[in-house]
Structure 1
């Protein structure tokens, strides 16, 4: 079994999990590139997996269902009319056509009902817009407290878990990360490596949990260097007793929201 990268729009990645015969697609915001990839690789669509309700993740579902009547899995806590199999956190999902087992992880923050899919046997995480390579999703509906808890669930996964996020935001995210931790040597090395990939039009995704823990400021908000940088920028109080980790994360997220 393997994962095929399907680019869409300007910077989306749709993921085709397949065994050479059948396939499940994750977050098909656009049907056309999915249909093209299925035809090119001789695959039959067996299931659709959704992480949250945003149009660039669900917009292609109605057209795909015209081509194949397959189950549509997605978050029970979000109003997505095409879902036929609603899922909650900690549900175990078996995609029979692929012999694929997935654990559903509840990860609110970007949206209220956002979920992620974890394939333990393969070491794959499909996390939508919760965890990005070098970043995390904006808090459109949830709170900083929710996102902190959601990211903690993901970072508890094995370090070699591959992180299949939904966007090519990596270089932009890493520019911000360098603003926060210019002395992080792992980050400096990563920036060079990711720039080299993009110069050859190669995707920077998937990442790994271990790489994110070492270089992603939204997983490193408790680090002294990160706190100190936020204080230096006037985004946190200077008295240590006044610093709360969730407030630190929120300050970091707010800075990134307006970072150019």
Structure 2
């Protein structure tokens, strides 16, 4: 079991911190900025025991050098020379034990080619937890900066196969914008309407909308619903040349979202 907390960074990033309830040794995921991490460590008298990286973008890696300058700690991440400071490269299907929990490494290309996610079946409250970086967001998915729609579809399909009660710890507070787009794609989705109202209440109080659950994303996130009739119809209306296959639907709605 873990205690998992968000550390806000930049305008909308979340650096995730986790540790065992009986330990002051913590791990952080995607520290793009060292300063807020150091502030939390000092405020709560915690010890940084390691770092997890999901992909090479600087807003996820920028704090590695400073956080490790005076610490001899492991840095787990993709086997990518673009990332300075990785001490423990990990690959698809690898497992690592952190804070007495076993994490499985999942390759999730699409947003970037090197993207990975970390999954454990014993996260907070003993519920499954997924640190998915920028592959899957609440109500959305990452832009296709390096990968293809086919790669992203395969990655999302893989995440969709995890247990329904998996908590989704993504790296950005993009939820309101994502759900505004989701409503354009699927205006008749009642569960989506309920999610919009819930998120509006949270953000009005400046509270995080993350984590979500996989079940909620399967019900409301159009990028996990590219095989659903209303999503298919929206994609075909947007691009009449679409083949209506799930991969092509994802391609169309991702391009639509890019310019929404």
TM-score range, shorter chain: over 0.9
Give the match for residue 208 of structure 2: 203
Q: 1:107, CA displacement in angstroms?
A: 0.2
Q: 1:63, CA displacement in angstroms?
A: 0.5
Give the match for residue 14 of structure 1: 15
Give the match for residue 116 of structure 2: 115
Q: Unpaired segments of 5 or more residues in structure 1?
A: none
Q: Unpaired segments of 5 or more residues in structure 2?
A: none
- The answer to whether residue 216 in structure 2 is matched with residue 224 in structure 1 is no
- Report the secondary structure of 1:102's partner residue: strand
Return the alpha-carbon distance in structure 2 between the equivalents of residues 189 and 159 of structure 1. 19
TM-score, normalised by the number of residues in structure 1: 0.95
- The answer to whether residue 68 in structure 2 is matched with residue 65 in structure 1 is yes
Q: 1:120, CA displacement in angstroms?
A: 1.3
- Report the secondary structure of 2:69's partner residue: helix
Give the match for residue 159 of structure 2: 154
- Report the secondary structure of 2:113's partner residue: coil
TM-score, normalised by the number of residues in structure 2: 0.95
Q: Say what the alpha-carbon RMSD is for the aligned residues.
A: 1.2
Cα deviation per residue 1:154-208 (whole Å; 9 max; x = unaligned)?
Answer: 1101111000000000000000000001100000000000010000000000001
- Report the secondary structure of 2:55's partner residue: coil
Return the alpha-carbon distance in structure 2 between the equivalents of residues 78 and 159 of structure 1. 35
Give the match for residue 180 of structure 1: 185
Return the alpha-carbon distance in structure 2 between the equivalents of residues 215 and 200 of structure 1. 22
Return the alpha-carbon distance in structure 1 between the equivalents of residues 46 and 223 of structure 2. 37
Q: Which runs of 4+ in 1 moved over 6 A?
A: none
Q: Is the 8 A contact 1:78 1:113 kept in 2?
A: no
- Report the secondary structure of 1:163's partner residue: strand
When the two structures are aligned, how many residues end up with a matched partner? Answer: 253
Q: Is the 8 A contact 2:65 2:84 kept in 1?
A: no
